[in-house]
Structure formats: structure tokens, C-alpha cells
Amino acid sequence: MSKANEVNLVDHGFMDARIKAIDIAAFLDRVQRAGQEDDYRVVALREALNHLLEEDPDRAKRVLLSLSDPTDKPIPVAPGKGAAGAWSG
């Protein structure tokens, strides 16, 4: 692919990433004001966010895995109607 045909990824994705970063910051502000920052999902999200600043080309994978249940044994009964989005440990 010639240089002229290359997509500028920053031009293409920066505004979307910026919106998501501000949205996450606002969510964490609201959770903190509500005194709910100890919820396991918020703790897991904060831990996942640490991976964003790593110089690892697999940071998306590391974020996903940090929020995922690492066990491979099925549980007898699901604790709710849907996924929680983070593993409670």
C-alpha cells in the first residue's frame, strides 16, 4: 500500500477514543461521589485501565482478560440474568 493510501489512524479514531475516555472519567466521578468505588466491577475496571498505559501491543487483550473470568469449570447456577462485565473473583 502506498503512503498516499494509508489511513491516518489518529485522524480516524481520536475523537471516538477521546469521548470514551471522558465517559469513563465521568462514570468514575459519579461512582466515587456515590461512595460505590469499592464495588468489584469498579475495582476491576480501574485495574483494567492500568493496562492502557502499558507499552504492550496486546493491551486490548490484557484489558479483556483482566475483566474476564479465568476459570474453566462451569458453575451450577448463574447468579443473575446477565453478565456482570467483570469477574468478582
Planar angle of CA 33, 35, 39, nearest 5 degrees = 125
Q: What is the pTM of this model?
A: 0.82
Q: What is the mean pLDDT of each run of 10 residues along the chain (89 residues)?
A: 78 97 98 97 96 94 93 82 80
Q: Give residue 57's region: left, alpha or beta (phi > 0; psi -120 to 50).
A: alpha
**Count of Cβ atoms closer than 10 Å to residue 21 Cβ:** 12
